[in-house]
Amino acid sequence: MTASDCQAAIPRRDLLLQMKRLRALEETIAERYPEGRMRCPVHLSTGQEGVSAAVGLVLRPTDLAVSGHRAHTHYLAKGGSMPRMLAEIYGKGTGCSRGKGGSMHLIDESVGFKGSTAIVGGTVPVGTGLGLSIKNRGTDQVACVFLGDAVVEEGVFFESVNFAVLHRLPVLYVCENNLFSVYSPLSVRQPPGRAIHEMVAGLGIRTAHGDGNDPEFVYTTCRGMVDGIRAGHGPAFVEFATYRWREHCGPHFDNHIGYREEAEYLAWKERDPLTTYERRLLTNNVVTDDEVTAMNEAVATEVHEAFAFAEASPFPAPETASDDVFSRGAAS
């Protein structure tokens, strides 16, 4: 494949459309959260959509993925159902986890989204194990592990990546470095001058890094890594710089509380992955104004219908409270 073939293969309109879907959904959740009907904590990804949209378009429907607490956009980008995700956040029985998981525990095996959990780093060994099962079954699937920068501060991350390298597992680790773990910047968590991708490269894994707000960069980087994984070259770790706009958990903005500067947020907002990419595609005549308008309308309708579905769905029946719930304990 020549460089120009590769350029031509970038699904530019899909990248834009997908980012619009993710943005509209997250922002509508933020807008409607105060209504009090979404009764679980929400960790929104507004500002970080470039990574999810691009990785989702690189992965195939048959590939597998896991994520953490900030999972909405990963789930949707992997092909998850917007109505069923919203129903989950509303605690309804039609939710993707039947109303028992909430925002942080999304799962949909029909699209290969094998789960998300609030335990930081908790799904890294799960995704690595998925890679082992793929290898044992001999398919050309890839297991994708979405993680935040704080995950590389968990011991299980290193054990898992070491195992993946040792066994050449088909795993893509996607690190969205948004600079913060809740209110703690990287500067109080890592020594000066340390780059996450450099530290992880020490484990012998192929790495790449760069601008997570440039969806084409994320797409081509991950495309190259995933092609290599499918060709049997073993796992890869990619780190993308990005920024969460809203508070760590919840629908509000919290720059005023002092853990980060308003100016830093505004600088990242200038580099909004969605509006900058839309401008770029318009300028380069990849899309027209009319097409953008049509996309906006389609997305608004999709989000509206997803909320209507979630609102209209019933809560799980009380007698199903113990269904699909597993616990370990002494047999009675």
Ligand X SMILES: Cc1ncc(C[n+]2csc(CCOP(=O)(O)OP(=O)(O)O)c2C)c(N)n1
Burial string for 92-111 (b: 16+ CB within 10 Å, else e) reads: bebbbbbbbbbbbbbbbeeb
Query: CB–CB of 63/131 below 8 Å?
Result: no
Pick the closer one to ligand X by CB: 158 or 302: 158
Pick the closer one to ligand X by CB: 151 or 172: 151
Query: CB–CB of 133/169 below 8 Å?
Result: no
> CB of residue 178 vs ligand X: minimum separation in angstroms?
5
Is residue 156 a contact point for ligand X (CB under 6 A)? no
* Of the candidate residues 23, 70, 105, 197, the single one contacting ligand X (CB under 6 A): 70
> What is the C-alpha to C-alpha distance for residues 246 and 258, in angstroms, rounded to an integer?
14
* Of the candidate residues 11, 14, 100, 118, the single one contacting ligand X (CB under 6 A): 118
The amino acid at residue 258 is G
> Per-residue string for binding with ligand X, 242-281, x by CB under 6 A?
------x---------------------------------
> CB of residue 141 vs ligand X: minimum separation in angstroms?
25
Burial of 167 (0-12, 13-18, 19+ CB in 10 A): middle
Is residue 197 a contact point for ligand X (CB under 6 A)? no
User: Can you read off the two tokens belonging to residue 264?
Assistant: 């830093």
Is residue 63 a contact point for ligand X (CB under 6 A)? no
Is residue 172 a contact point for ligand X (CB under 6 A)? no
Query: CB–CB of 94/84 below 8 Å?
Result: yes
Size of the site for ligand X (CB under 6 A): 14
Is residue 105 a contact point for ligand X (CB under 6 A)? no
* Of the candidate residues 111, 150, 226, 306, the single one contacting ligand X (CB under 6 A): 150
Is residue 203 a contact point for ligand X (CB under 6 A)? no
> CB of residue 151 vs ligand X: minimum separation in angstroms?
5
Is residue 40 a contact point for ligand X (CB under 6 A)? no
Residues with Cβ within 8 Å of 200's Cβ and at least 6 positions away in sequence, in order, are 152, 161, 173, 175, 207, 237, 239
Is residue 119 a contact point for ligand X (CB under 6 A)? yes
* Of the candidate residues 46, 67, 178, 313, the single one contacting ligand X (CB under 6 A): 178
Sheet of strand 171-177: strand arrangement:
113-116, 64-67, 143-148, 171-177, 236-241, 206-211
DSSP string, 222-281: HHHHHHHHHTT---EEEEEE----S-SSSSS--GGGSSS-HHHHHHHHHT-HHHHHHHHH
* Of the candidate residues 16, 82, 87, 120, the single one contacting ligand X (CB under 6 A): 120
> CB of residue 181 vs ligand X: minimum separation in angstroms?
4
Is residue 117 a contact point for ligand X (CB under 6 A)? no
Burial of 14 (0-12, 13-18, 19+ CB in 10 A): middle
Is residue 190 a contact point for ligand X (CB under 6 A)? no
Query: CB–CB of 31/58 below 8 Å?
Result: no
> CB of residue 186 vs ligand X: minimum separation in angstroms?
9
* Of the candidate residues 181, 276, 296, 320, the single one contacting ligand X (CB under 6 A): 181
Closest CA to 163 of 173, 174, 177: 173
> What is the C-alpha to C-alpha distance for residues 264 and 242, in angstroms, rounded to an integer?
12
Is residue 124 a contact point for ligand X (CB under 6 A)? no
Is residue 126 a contact point for ligand X (CB under 6 A)? no
Which positions touch ligand X (CB under 6 A)? 69-70, 118-120, 148-151, 178, 180-182, 248
